[in-house]
Amino acid sequence: MSVKTNAIRQRARARDSVDAETRAQVDSALERLWAEHGLSAATLAGYRRDLLGLAGFLEARGKTPDGATQADLFDYLGWRVSEGYAAKSNARLLSSLRAFYALKKRGGDIKEDPTRLLEMPRLPRPVPKALSESQVEALLRADTSEAPEQVALRAMLELMYACGLRVSELVDLPAAAVNLRQGLLRVMGKGSKERLVPMGEEAQHWLERYLQTVRPACVGKRTVPVLFVDAGGHAWNRQQFWSALKRRAQLAGVDPARVSPHVLRHSFATHLLNHGADLRALQMLLGHSSLSSTQIYTLIAKEGLKKMHRAHHPRG
């Protein structure tokens, strides 16, 4: 057994050992956080893992999360660093702890917030990976067959690239969210934030083909609320789409290791900026709550300009 695998199992055992009363307190706090902020299921699950991990650490000290001090939290973060947790993981943990203890202080369960002096670890700002326009084109045109599953996949890929969708937004997209007459898509993003995104002619063409020829045959007389269904009439899930995308990349001659649903979203944003899109408009299309989240794409655009300058300028 590797050291990493052993550490993962030890952490899982620590979470599992937390007593029922503490688990109930954590679950109650998460319900209140959900009611106040409308957090997604994935975010709540991450918060739960983080809080139970802390609870397991504190239990060995004879304490519960409500009784934790600043020193306890410093020790826990120090232990995580020594165990090799990444800065990104520790940053997410700190977000979980801050939300939890802010809730506890508002509710009068604790007098002092033990996270108030904890600082967020500095995270490197990675440049999002994007495909070139020719690679995206190859991916979209990789299979020209009329097979129903390929028509469905082409419609999904065209829509994801045209609208900058997250994979969860794509597979959960309701059929009622499509307005073919106006060429718009109503997308429910993170934090239940709704946005309207234009589809573009090519994506709309393939979506119409899918709706006319594929979906009715798969769904039959049943009422299925989601837009995209597989051959059995069931909603696609993220794993299905991921696997289909990897196969498509192989067929297109694009390295599958470089292709993922989120890379298509990055490509959407990067290609729009390269063609002169406004950053504020891009923020709205992506559904970012903060412009700083969108500005990261300017780094890719700048890299592209540098390469062009080096390739074509006489003193590049």
Ranked by mean pLDDT, the top range of 24-38, 155-169, 278-292 is 155-169
Q: Considering 262, 307, 309, 310, which one is annotated as catalytic?
A: 262
Mean pLDDT value of segment 268-290: 88
Is 4 in the active site?
no
Q: Which residues of 246-276 are buried (b: 16+ CB within 10 A; e: fewer)?
A: eebbeebebeeeebbbebbbbbbbbbbbbee
CA distances (Å), 182 to each of 121, 179, 277, 285, 314, in order? Answer: 45, 6, 21, 16, 47
- Is 123 contained in some domain? no
CATH code where residue 151 lies? 1.10.443.10
Q: Is 119 contained in some domain?
A: no
For residue 121, being part of any structural domain is answered with: no
CA 210 to chain centre: 26
Residue 117 counted as domain residue: no
Whether residue 118 lies inside any domain: the answer is no
Examine the domain organization and report whether 290 and 230 are in the same domain.
yes
pLDDT (mean) for 280-308: 76
Q: Return the pLDDT at 90.
A: 86
Instruction: Assess if residue 114 is contained within a domain.
Output: no
Is the domain of 144 the same as that of 292? yes
User: Is residue 38 one of the residues assigned to a domain?
Assistant: yes
Q: Are residues 73 and 181 in the same domain?
A: no
Q: Which residue has the tokens 């997250």?
A: 166
pLDDT of residue 189: 87
Q: Which domain holds residue 73?
A: 3-106
Same domain flag for 158 and 97: no
User: Which residue among 87, 106, 125 closes a domain?
Assistant: 106
Catalytic residue among 23, 190, 238, 246: 190
Whether residues 75 and 219 fall in one domain: no
Helix spans in the chain (H): 3-16, 20-37, 41-59, 70-82, 87-106, 133-140, 148-163, 167-171, 201-209, 215-219, 238-252, 261-274, 279-286, 291-312
With cut-offs at 50, 70 and 90, classify the pLDDT of residue 139. Answer: very high
In the residue annotation, 288 being an active-site residue is answered as: yes
98 and 218 belong to one structural domain: no
Per the annotation, the verdict on 315 as an active-site residue is: no
Q: What is the CA radius of gyration of the chain?
A: 23
- pLDDT-derived band at 14 (thresholds 50, 70, 90) equals very low
Amino acid sitting at position 161: Y
Tell me the pLDDT tens digit for each residue of 179-196.
Answer: 999 999 999 988 788 999
297 is catalytic: yes
Q: Which of 104, 166, 248, 266 is catalytic?
A: 166
pLDDT digits (tens, 9 = 90+) for 254-263: 999 999 999 9
Annotated catalytic residue, options 80, 248, 265, 271: 265
Is 128 strand, coil or helix?
Answer: coil
Domains held by the chain: number? 2
Whether residue 148 contacts residue 217, with contact meaning beta carbons closer than 8 Å, is answered with yes
Q: Decide if 262 is catalytic.
A: yes
The pLDDT of 220-228, averaged and rounded, is 93
**Count of residues in the chain:** 316
Mean pLDDT of the 147-165 span = 94
pLDDT above 70 (res 307): no
Q: Do 83 and 195 lie in a common domain?
A: no
Please indicate whether residue 310 is annotated as part of the active site. no
Determine the pLDDT at residue 200.
92
Q: Are residue 258 and residue 153 in the same domain, yes or no?
A: yes
Q: Are both 290 and 183 inside the same structural domain?
A: yes
Q: What is the mean pLDDT of residues 156-175?
A: 95
Q: How far is the C-alpha of 132 from the C-alpha of 270, rounded, in Å?
A: 9
Instruction: Tell whether 197 and 280 lie within a shared domain.
Output: yes
- Both 181 and 283 in a single domain? yes
Here the CATH number for the domain that contains residue 67 is 1.10.150
Query: pTM score > 0.85 for this model?
Result: no
Task: Place 170 in a pLDDT band, splitting at 50, 70 and 90.
Answer: very high
State pLDDT tens for residues 114-124. Answer: 998 887 666 55
Within-domain flag for 181: yes
Cβ-contact 244, 153 below 8 angstroms: yes
Q: Identify whether residues 76 and 148 lie together within a single domain.
A: no
